[in-house]
Structure 1
Amino acid sequence: MSVPARDSVPAPETRVAAFPKAKVLPIVAARPKPWRARFVAVGRAVAGKVVPPLIPLLFLLVVWELLCAGPDAALPPPSRVVADTWELITDPFYDRGGLDKGLFWHLFASLQRVLLGYSLAAIGGVAIGTLIGQSQWAMRSLDPLFQVLRTVPPLAWLPLALAAFKSGEPSAIFVIFITAVWPIVINTAVGIRNIPEDYRNVARVLQLNPLEYAVKIMIPAAAPYIFTGLRIGIGLSWLAIVAAEMLIGGVGIGFFIWDAWNSSLISDIIVALIYVGIIGFFLDRSVALVGVLVTRGTATS
């Protein structure tokens, strides 16, 4: 067997040149398009907020349907409620004259009364709470009186208001005011009293006048407490107007519920209560959102 000559064996450089190395490309993961990434992020955020409340709601509806499906059940199941009130749900804007109106008009009338009475309570409550929080003498003088008045049930004021105003409309607004003002007063006073002493010292060093001190230091520092009282107040206002309208009559969601009870329309009552709860939820969230914007996040929503 013959051995190949040394010159016939290709040199290493020749072998490398004959078989070049394959170019290795880096593996880069495909990035989703920007609009798709934003869509996915928004979808996950919405699902994280919507899905958890839906689970107990669906469970409640299923249990309600099973318990009230029998012929001897005192309350109608959800399926029957929807069937009985389908026209009421799909056409809330009808107006046939008098008190025969859709749910929208009853809710709108109640909201008007609530916003007027609540606005008066917010202005008066913040002003009185500021006075009590700043003045020790005012706190000792007014706090016992307020502690007595705030324990009176809201509807207990209605006969007195009817005797004083001779009309149901101002009486309902007064009941809203007297119900909502107390948590606003108390929380505002607590917020004013809890202002750090360092803030007061800064005001003295800067020689701020009373108006500048109120605008730049006192109100911003007490704002989280104030908006806590405002949130409690708006909830109590909505509770009070529904109860008051059951007694004073006229257009309003409270009267609608009472009239449905007199007509034995249980399904109408259930639908009205659902609307009352939804409106109350949005009222609370609206005040909370304003608080977050005004206090720059120090008042949690």
Structure 2
Amino acid sequence: MDHSIFLDFLSSLKLLFVGYIPAVILGIILGSFIGMNPLVYQICKRTLQIPYSIPPIALLPLALILFRELEVATSLVVFFSAIWPLILNTAKGMRKSRTQGNNIRVAINHIFSALRTGIWTAWFTVIATEMLTVGKGLGFLIWNSYKSGNYNVIIESLIYIGIIGFLLDQLLDITGNILSQLISEERKEI
């Protein structure tokens, strides 16, 4: 990996985590609250589908108008791309957990499914926003390479994007499985 691609790689990861981590924290908290309250769950499971149905990249112009600072606007778009699946899947998991005698393993499986969906959506949004605005990152590198006819860099960048997405997904999948198994072991001992 040459120096400039490495810097673009770091820039993309920074944008991903600055938007994704707050979405994880807030999404799990709100989703847990929604899932524990049957009335709130019934209301939110439908109404939250509306913002979830908006493609995150469509929010970019509005975020740029409201915040005017590029990094803040793009981080906010990444945040919004991840928060809806996190809230909805966490709420669903908490709800199912309660109906199955507070089976925490069910909640954990749903939360990690939400984390995986959220990271995928956030990663997609990072690349798309970089192509449109940021001026750095792997998405920008692909778009700039296209405009200059440097097709080898496009392929190389796509490979990095795929590898990063795969590794993040697998990290969450493995962590979720380990945690779920640990909880199963504890329940057997009780």
TM-score of the aligned structures, taking structure 1 as reference length = 0.57
Q: Distance between the aligned counterparts of 1:149 and 1:129, measured in 2?
A: 15
Query: Per-residue deviation at 1:297?
Result: 6.1
Distance 1:156 1:115 in 2: 20
Residues 255 and 177 (structure 1), Cα distance of their counterparts in 2 relative to 1, 3 Å cut: same
The answer on 1:112 being equivalent to 2:14 is yes
- In structure 2, what is the Cα distance between the partners aligned to 1:146 and 1:196? 21
1:193 aligns with 2:95: yes
Going by fraction, where is helix more abundant, 1 or 2? 2
SS in 1 for 2:126: helix
Correspondent of 1:287 among 159, 163, 172: 172
Does 1 or 2 have the higher relative contact order (CA < 8 Å, sep 6+)? Answer: 2
Corresponding residue of 1:75 = none
Q: Deviations over 1:209-239 (max 9, x none)?
A: xxxxxxxx65x54111100110111111111
Please report how far the alpha carbon of residue 298 of structure 1 lies from its aligned counterpart in structure 2 after TM superposition.
7.5
Aligned residues: 184
Cα shift readout 1:226-268 (whole Å, capped 9, x = no counterpart): 0011011111111110000111122211111111111111221
The question of whether the paired residues in 2 share the 8 Å contact of 1:224 and 1:298 is answered with no
CA contact (8 A) 2:35 2:95 kept: yes
1:230 and 2:115 correspond: yes
Which position in structure 1 is the counterpart of 2:187? none
Change in 2 beyond 3 A, CA 1:117/1:293: same
Distance in 1, matches of 2:126 and 2:50, equals: 22
**Distance in 1 of aligned mates of 2:152 and 2:168:** 25
Name the CA distance, whole Å, in 2 between partners of 1:266 and 1:198. Answer: 53
Mark the structure with the bigger radius of gyration.
1
Match of residue 133 from structure 2:
248
Please state how far the C-alpha of 1:105 moved relative to its aligned partner: 0.6
Counterpart among 37, 40, 60 of residue 138 in structure 1: 40
Q: CA deviation at 1:198?
A: 6.3
Shift of 1:196: 5.0
Q: Note the aligned Cα RMSD (angstroms).
A: 2.0
Distance 1:112 1:183, change over 3 A: same
Task: Give TM-score scaled by structure 2 length.
Answer: 0.88
Q: For the residues of structure 1 that align with 2:121 and 2:183, how far apart are their CA atoms?
A: 23
Which structure 1 residue ranges, 5 or more long, are not aligned?
1-88, 94-101, 201-216
Alignment of 1:34-53 (within 5 A): none
Letter in 1 for 2:160: Y
1:156 to 33, 58, 66: 58
User: For 1:106-131, what per-residue CA distance to the aligned partner results, in whole angstroms no more than 9, with x for missing partners?
Assistant: 01111011112111111111111112
Pick one of 155, 160, 178 that aligns with 1:270.
Answer: 155
Offset of residue 270 of structure 1: 1.2
Change (3 A) 1:144 1:199: closer
- SS of the residue corresponding to residue 274 of structure 1 reads helix
Q: Secondary structure at the match of 1:199?
A: coil
Contact 2:45–2:88 (Cα < 8 Å) also in 1: no
Q: 1:291 to 1:264 in 2, by over 3 A?
A: same
Query: Take 2:128 and 2:16, find their aligned partners in 1: how far apart are those partners?
Result: 12
Say yes or no: does 1:173 pair with 2:58. Answer: no
| 3-state secondary structure, aligned to 1:152 | coil
In the alignment, is the contact (CA less than 8 A) between 2:86 and 2:115 conserved in 1?
A: yes
Deviation at 1:178, TM superposition (A): 0.8
